[in-house]
């Protein structure tokens, strides 16, 4: 299929986006006092992919930005990651984990007003024949410390994704006021 | 600036017909949730990096944490208190296109410092990279300068600014 006729000069991604193939599903802005988790429930099954965009900060001394799918707290997650600390590059992996790992975010005690950004893509999330793959780019720079990370998570289930629960350090932390997360659906 | 028409909307676009040093997106509407800039450029006059200033801020209020692979090794570096947000050490040498996707999430809020997430790619020479930059300001972003810092972006380079609007 040729795409050149639809928008001259457009790249594949901008072509799709210019044609409103991406739609907002839900968004949350954390209020005073913070929250323990950020949840997206009853996710429509009418899109091909999902994207979550975030600007978040931990309200505790924990900085690991994690998630669970469909409330699954079993050891059904694995991940591979590549990250830079500002002085070294490292790669890590994990198997049989109880949550997916997105990245590292600013936390209590970090530079004031600094948050961590993230773009998380969940591909073919309604498919009943595939385990689900989630990829993310997340990072926080704190003018003297920080981390940038690319992550791939496998949720070993063929069940369609209907809910996402984001946590800090598997629920031992929370999200600070002014944290924002937004969920979008991408048509296929 | 174009009127807002959808969730992921093209706000402004610039395809260079002449060698240009500075690309400026000004009067950016505050009505979106996030901004995304898609850049496909080649440098004129050498290996020039893609650098950013926000709202005309020339102070040393920018910092970065960087990850890069050049085909031989992987490196990470950090620089603080810079006068520009350097959006990766991935560059596009003369005649060698590089592609960059730059995310500015929650750009219009007035309570947090602004984080910039960038993925940069140049298959020919420079490699691949990811950057996180911090702009230490709580001001809403209304102007973005992309600069080649003394050299130029070559003819045919493209710069597109998109706005993403979250659910209300």
Q: Residue A9: pLDDT above 50?
A: no
Measured CA to CA, the distance from residue B104 to residue B119 in angstroms comes to 12
pTM for this predicted structure: 0.92
Any chain B CB within 8 A of the CB of A135?
no
Q: In chain A, what residues touch B165 (CB-CB under 8 Å)? A: 24
Question: Domains along chain A?
Answer: 23-186 (2.60.120)
Q: Residue B5: pLDDT above 70?
A: no
Inter-chain residue contact B111 with A178, CB threshold 8 Å = yes
Question: Domains along chain B?
Answer: 8-163 (2.60.120)
Per DSSP, the three-state class of A88 is: coil
Inter-chain residue contact A89 with B117, CB threshold 8 Å = no
Kindly indicate the confidence band of residue B6, based on its pLDDT and cuts at 50, 70 and 90: low
Q: Of all residues in chain B, what percent carry a pLDDT higher than 90?
A: 71
pLDDT at position A19 is 54
Q: What's the whole-number average pLDDT of chain B? A: 90
Distances (CA, A) of B8 to A7, A52, A179, B109, B113: 15, 14, 21, 19, 23
Q: What is the ipTM of this complex?
A: 0.92
Inter-chain residue contact B105 with A23, CB threshold 8 Å = no
Inter-chain residue contact A142 with B63, CB threshold 8 Å = yes
Inter-chain residue contact A115 with B40, CB threshold 8 Å = no
Of A14, A20, A137, the CB nearest to B119: A137
* Token output for B150: 């003394």
For residue B34, the distance in angstroms to the closest alpha carbon of chain A comes to: 8
Q: Residue B47: pLDDT above 50?
A: yes
For residue A74, the distance in angstroms to the closest alpha carbon of chain B comes to: 31
What does the pLDDT look like over A132-174, one tens digit per residue?
999 999 999 999 999 999 999 999 999 999 999 999 987 678 9
Kindly indicate the confidence band of residue A188, based on its pLDDT and cuts at 50, 70 and 90: confident
pLDDT at position B146 is 95
146-175 of A, contacting B, C-beta below 8 A: 146-148, 150
Kindly indicate the confidence band of residue A7, based on its pLDDT and cuts at 50, 70 and 90: very low
Q: In chain B, what residues touch A42 (CB-CB under 8 Å)? A: none
Q: Residue A11: pLDDT above 60?
A: no
What does the pLDDT look like over B109-146, one tens digit per residue?
999 999 999 999 887 777 899 999 999 999 999 999 99
Query: HEC profile for B26-70?
Result: CCCCCCCCEEEEEEEECEECCCECCEEEECCCCCCCEEEEEEEEC
For residue A168, the distance in angstroms to the closest alpha carbon of chain B comes to: 19
Whether the Cβ atoms of residue A44 and residue A25 lie closer than 8 Å to each other: yes
Nearest CA in chain B to A18: B9
CA dihedral B123, B124, B126, B132 (to 10 degrees): -30
Any chain A CB within 8 A of the CB of B19?
no
């Amino acid at each position: 299929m040729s795409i050149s006729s639809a928008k001259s000069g457009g790249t594949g991604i901008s072509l799709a986006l210019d044609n409103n193939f991406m739609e907002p599903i839900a968004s949350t802005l954390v209020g005073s006092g913070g929250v323990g988790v950020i949840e997206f429930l009853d996710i429509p099954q009418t899109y091909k992919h999902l994207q979550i965009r975030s600007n978040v900060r931990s309200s505790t001394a924990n900085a690991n930005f994690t998630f669970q799918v469909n409330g699954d707290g079993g050891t059904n997650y694995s991940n591979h990651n590549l990250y830079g600390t500002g002085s070294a590059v490292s790669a890590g992996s994990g198997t049989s984990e109880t949550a997916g790992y997105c990245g590292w975010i600013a936390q209590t005690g970090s530079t004031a007003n600094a948050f961590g950004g993230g773009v998380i893509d969940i591909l073919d999330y309604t498919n009943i024949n595939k385990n689900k793959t989630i990829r993310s780019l997340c990072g926080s720079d704190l003018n003297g410390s920080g981390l940038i990370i690319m992550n791939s998570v496998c949720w070993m289930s063929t069940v369609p994704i209907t809910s996402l629960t984001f946590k800090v350090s598997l629920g031992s932390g929370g999200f600070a006021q002014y944290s924002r997360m937004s969920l979008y659906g991408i048509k296929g | 600036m174009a009127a807002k028409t959808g969730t992921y909307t093209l706000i402004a676009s610039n395809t260079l017909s002449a060698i240009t040093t500075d690309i400026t997106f000004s009067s950016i509407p505050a009505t979106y949730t996030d901004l995304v800039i898609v850049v496909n450029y080649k440098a004129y006059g050498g290996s020039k990096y893609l650098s950013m200033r926000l709202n005309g801020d020339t102070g040393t209020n920018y910092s970065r944490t960087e990850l890069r692979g050049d085909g031989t090794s992987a490196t990470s570096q950090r620089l603080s208190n810079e006068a520009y947000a350097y959006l990766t050490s991935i560059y596009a040498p003369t005649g060698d296109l590089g592609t960059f996707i730059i995310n500015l999430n929650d750009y219009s809020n007035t309570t947090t410092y602004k984080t910039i997430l960038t993925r940069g790619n140049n298959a020919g020479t420079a490699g691949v990279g990811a950057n996180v930059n911090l702009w230490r300001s709580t001001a809403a972003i209304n102007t973005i300068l992309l600069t080649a810092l003394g050299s130029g972006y070559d003819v045919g380079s493209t710069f597109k600014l998109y706005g993403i609007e979250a659910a209300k």
